[in-house]
């Protein structure tokens, strides 16, 4: 099994904050970093040894990456098949392309999840209003219509509260590729588990994260999640079953819904470190980024024990100024900023990890900062 040694170069496709945090961990471990990204001075580009400025599907850029790196990983998921295949053939891409291809498409993803006997909300792929109406007869309302590809942070979705909404929902998403309609899960909590599997087949999961979204963007991650121990165990087991079933290498974020009767449904997968795992950077023995680098470079995986309760809160463009004004108060809070120059509304600029004796205390400390309006 290939071991990539410190001093060798890790290539990262995509120059955003996930790439930056992977690269920072990798640098601490002694690696060189090359990044491929269309824009200059990207969050990851700023701290890389080699910056390749090219579009994700440019052959020239891919060739430069192949010349420069010893191993390739990605933080950007929407790489087209042709480029990914080329990269897989010309570079060492331990994560492979299969997982990426599967998670790029909601229906393929759900098929894979259910093939391992794991639960998802009942769904149907629909390509006409008639099929949508038939599907609603079977799964009932409320439901949600989603594009199979390209959707993120709630984009490419239309909620169907009653059957008469189907026409409007279909019109909204028609022409945006294949569609999937799924039953609305009356969840009490949204959870996620980050699972890592190394090239040697070793698997770890990080503690279950409880996620709070605002306007479909992750707002807070609370760990330990305020759910019973047996549910945490079940969630972690589901993530391990997926990682083993998929024979995956690298990192997978598994997003789930929890219902009042403690049933879990898998909502979505992301084949990379994830925003809901940023809490690990300060609160766990190993961060999700270091673990990812360990996994793809053939190191043994690190411990994932939670050292202290934590709440991660995201800093969007509109929060940045207040976050900076409050700097003298961050004695026990860990601030992470991504080096983005333009603080646009809704843009993820950084995050704050607040460690405390309990998650209640951490939530209180965040509230006292009065940066994020109460909802
Ligand atoms: P997604 O892009 O699939 O992660 O969906 C974005 C958000 O919409 C989720 O975080 C949920 O809050 C909500 N959502 C999506 N699908 C469902 C569903 N089937 N049932 C309930 N809520 C959903």
Give me ligand 1 centre to Cα 14, in Å.
Answer: 25
Identify the DSSP state of 5: P
Which DSSP letter does residue 28 get? H
Tokens representing residue 155 in the block: 């984009």
CATH number of the domain that 146 lies in? 3.30.1490.20
- Residues of the domain holding 24: 9-93
| Whether residues 14 and 149 fall in one domain | no
Residues 212 and 179 placed together within one structural domain of the fold? no
167, part of any domain: yes
- For residues 259 and 136, state if they share a domain: no
| CB-based pocket (< 6 A), ligand 1 | 121, 144, 151, 154, 182, 184-185, 187, 190, 213, 216, 255, 267-268
Give the ligand 1 atom nearest the CA of 183. Answer: 19
pLDDT exceeds 90 at position 172? yes
Domain boundary among 44, 75, 93: 93
What pLDDT is recorded for position 105? Answer: 95
Print burial letters for 293-332: b (CB count within 10 Å at least 16), e (below 16): bbbbbbbebbebeeeebbbbbbbbebbbeebeebeeeeee
Tokens describing residue 159: 């909620």
Q: pLDDT for 176-226, tens place per residue?
A: 999 999 999 999 999 999 999 999 999 999 999 999 999 999 999 999 999
Distance of CA 284 to the CA centre of its chain: 18
What are the DSSP calls for 42-85, one per residue?
Answer: -TTGGG-SEEEE--TT-HHHHHHHHHH-SEEEES-----HHHHH
pTM of structure: 0.97
Say how many Å lie between the CA of residue 313 and the centre of ligand 1. Answer: 20
User: Which are the contacts of 362, defined by CB distance < 8 A and separation ≥ 6?
Assistant: 222, 309, 310, 311, 354, 355, 356
Residues 136 and 260 in one domain: no
Which protein residue's CA is at the shortest distance from atom 6 of ligand 1?
154
215: phi > 0 → left, psi -120 to 50 → alpha, else beta; which?
left
Same domain assignment for residues 81 and 229: no
Tell me which residue has its CA closest to atom 5 in ligand 1.
Answer: 154
Q: Which of 267, 270, 276 to mutate to test the pocket of ligand 1 (most atoms within 8 A of CB)?
A: 267
Ligand 1: residue whose CA is nearest its atom 18? 184
Whether residue 168 is found in the same domain as residue 207? no
C-alpha–C-alpha distance, residues 265 and 81, integer Å: 29
Are 352 and 313 in contact by the 8 Å Cβ rule? The answer is yes
- The residue whose CA has the least distance to atom 17 of ligand 1 is 184
Q: How far apart are CA 85 and CA 180, in angstroms?
A: 27
83: domain CATH number? Answer: 3.40.50.20
Residue 76 lies inside a defined structural domain of this protein: yes
Is residue 63 domain-shared with residue 89, that is, in the same domain?
Answer: yes
Which CATH number does the domain housing residue 287 bear?
3.30.470.20
* Top mutation candidate among 109, 140, 144 for ligand 1, by most atoms within 8 Å of CB: 144
Specify burial of residue 228 (Cβ count, 10 A radius: 0-12, 13-18, 19+): exposed
Instruction: Note whether 240 and 195 are within 8 A (CB).
Output: yes
Q: What is the pLDDT of residue 241?
A: 98
Q: How confident is the model at residue 119 (pLDDT cuts 50, 70, 90)?
A: very high
What the block records as the tokens of 231 is: 């549910």
For residue 50 the two structure tokens come to 């080699």
Q: What's the whole-number mean pLDDT along residues 338-348? A: 97
125 CA distance to ligand 1 middle (Å) = 16
CA of 267 to the centre of ligand 1 (A): 7
What stretch of H or E contains 295?
Answer: helix 288-297
Domain boundary among 143, 166, 183: 183
Residue 128 included in any domain: yes
pLDDT band at 156 (very low <50, low <70, confident <90, very high): confident
Number of domains in the chain: 3
């Amino acid at each position: 099994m290939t071991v990539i040694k410190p001093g060798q170069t890790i290539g990262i496709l995509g120059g955003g904050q996930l790439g930056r945090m992977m690269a920072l961990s990798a640098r601490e471990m002694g690696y060189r970093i090359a990044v491929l990204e269309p824009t200059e001075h990207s969050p990851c580009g700023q701290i890389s040894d080699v910056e390749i400025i090219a579009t994700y599907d440019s052959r020239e850029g891919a060739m430069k990456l192949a010349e420069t790196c010893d191993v390739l990983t990605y933080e950007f998921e929407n790489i087209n098949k042709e480029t990914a295949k080329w990269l897989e053939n010309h570079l060492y891409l331990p994560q492979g392309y299969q997982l990426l291809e599967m998670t790029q498409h909601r229906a393929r993803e759900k098929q894979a999840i259910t093939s391992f006997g794991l639960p998802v909300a009942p769904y149907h792929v629909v390509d006409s209003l008639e099929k949508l109406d038939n599907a609603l007869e079977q799964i009932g309302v409320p439901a949600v219509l989603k594009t199979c590809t390209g959707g993120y942070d709630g984009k490419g979705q239309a909620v169907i509260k009653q059957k008469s909404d189907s026409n409007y929902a279909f019109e909204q998403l028609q022409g945006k590729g294949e569609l999937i309609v799924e039953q609305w899960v009356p969840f009490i909590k949204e959870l996620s588990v980050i699972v890592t599997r190394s090239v040697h087949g070793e698997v770890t999961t990080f503690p279950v994260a409880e996620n709070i979204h605002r306007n479909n963007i992750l707002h807070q991650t609370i760990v330990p999640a305020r759910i019973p121990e047996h549910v945490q165990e079940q969630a972690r087991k589901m993530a391990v079953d997926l990682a083993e079933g998929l024979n995956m290498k690298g990192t997978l974020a598994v997003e789930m819904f929890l219902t009042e009767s403690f049933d879990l449904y898998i909502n979505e997968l992301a084949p990379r470190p994830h925003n809901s795992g940023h809490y690990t950077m300060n609160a766990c023995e190993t961060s999700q980024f270091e673990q990812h680098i360990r996994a793809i470079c053939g190191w043994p995986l690190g411990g994932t024990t939670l050292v202290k309760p934590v709440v991660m809160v995201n800093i969007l463009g509109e929060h940045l100024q207040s976050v900076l004004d409050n700097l003298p108060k961050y004695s026990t809070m860990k601030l992470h900023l991504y080096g983005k120059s333009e603080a646009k509304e809704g843009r993820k600029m950084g995050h704050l990890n607040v460690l405390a004796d309990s998650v209640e205390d951490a939530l209180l400390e965040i509230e006292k900062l009065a940066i994020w309006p109460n909802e």
